[in-house]
């Protein structure tokens, strides 16, 4: 299962300002999701963002939103975003069958959304360094469960280079100039 930008969608689940202060590696999750979201924008891959109970948890982290040139925002009450009828209908109406999934909390909303997408027949790619929970052990357990259910663990670099596909394309040169160079300076902790 190789990712292609024509079939992919980046889904960022509940990286909300009110929740992030208690999330282990929450800052890294935002950084990685924002970086891949910017790359997605360069490559015309749709980015969807969900928010759970924004009245209490606040809206999406501002740094994330600033990095996303365009995104579709979904408010939800179900932990599984795919259980929201309008969300499921919009997914079904599109041609994006590969979902790169990340966010918080990995063991609750991200995992349940991933399970819902798998049950509906989508390919799910678990963006390991951008899935986080209050306790890192919960994020690791969620990843293990998702892999057993059929999700594929990936890193942001894996996704970006599969979307780019080749180095002689003008998009590669633009992405390299704007996004890829900054990657080497950031240490990563694989939280999940």
Q: Decide: 91 and 113 in contact? Cβ < 8 Å.
A: no
Amino acid 47: pLDDT: 98
CATH code: domain of residue 179:
3.40.50.850
Q: Are 64 and 12 in contact (CB under 8 A)?
A: yes
Whether 2 is in a domain gets the answer: no
Task: Flag whether 1 is in a domain.
Answer: no
- Note whether residue 152 is domain-resident: yes
How far apart CA 153 and CA 19 sit, in angstroms, is 24
Q: Provide the domain limits for residue 154.
A: 8-183
Question: What percentage of the chain carries pLDDT values higher than 90?
Answer: 78
Report the pLDDT value the prediction gives residue 90, as an integer from 0 to 100: 98
Indicate whether 14 belongs to any domain. yes
Domain-embedded: residue 89: yes
According to the model, what pLDDT value does residue 96 have? Answer: 98
Beta bridge partners of 16: 60
pLDDT of residue 169: 77
* Number of separate domains in the chain: 1
Residues of the chain falling short of pLDDT 70? 176-192
Residue 77 CB-half CA count within 13 A: 2
The per-residue pLDDT for 1 is: 78
Q: Both tokens of residue 70?
A: 């365009």
Rounded to 5°, angle at Cα 45 from 91 and 15: 75
Residue 190: the pLDDT is: 56
Q: Tell which phi-psi region holds residue 58, choosing left (phi > 0), alpha (psi between -120 and 50) or beta.
A: left
DSSP H or E stretch at residue 36: helix 26-42
The DSSP code for 58 is -
Q: Is residue 160 part of a domain?
A: yes
Element (H, E) at 13: strand 8-13
Domain assignment present for 66: yes
What per-residue confidence (pLDDT) applies to 117?
A: 98
In a domain, 154, yes or no: yes
């Amino acid at each position: 299962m190789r990712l292609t930008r024509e079939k992919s969608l980046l889904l960022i689940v509940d990286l909300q300002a009110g929740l992030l202060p208690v999330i282990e590696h929450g800052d890294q999750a935002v950084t990685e999701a924002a970086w891949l979201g910017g790359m997605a924008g360069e490559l015309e891959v749709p980015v969807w963002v969900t928010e759970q109970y924004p009245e209490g948890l606040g809206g999406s982290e501002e740094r994330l939103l600033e990095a996303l040139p365009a995104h579709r925002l979904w408010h939800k009450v179900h932990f599984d975003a795919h259980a929201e009828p309008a969300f499921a209908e919009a997914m079904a109406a599109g041609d994006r069958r590969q979902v790169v999934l990340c966010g918080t909390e990995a063991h609750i909303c991200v995992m349940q959304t991933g399970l819902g997408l798998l049950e509906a027949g989508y390919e799910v790619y678990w963006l390991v360094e951008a899935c986080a929970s209050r306790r890192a052990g919960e994020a690791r357990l969620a990843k293990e469960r998702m892999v057993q259910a059929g999700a594929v663990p990936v890193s942001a670099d894996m996704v970006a280079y599969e979307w780019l596909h080749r180095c002689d394309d003008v998009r590669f040169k633009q992405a390299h100039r704007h996004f890829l160079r900054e990657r080497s300076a950031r240490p990563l902790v694989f939280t999940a």
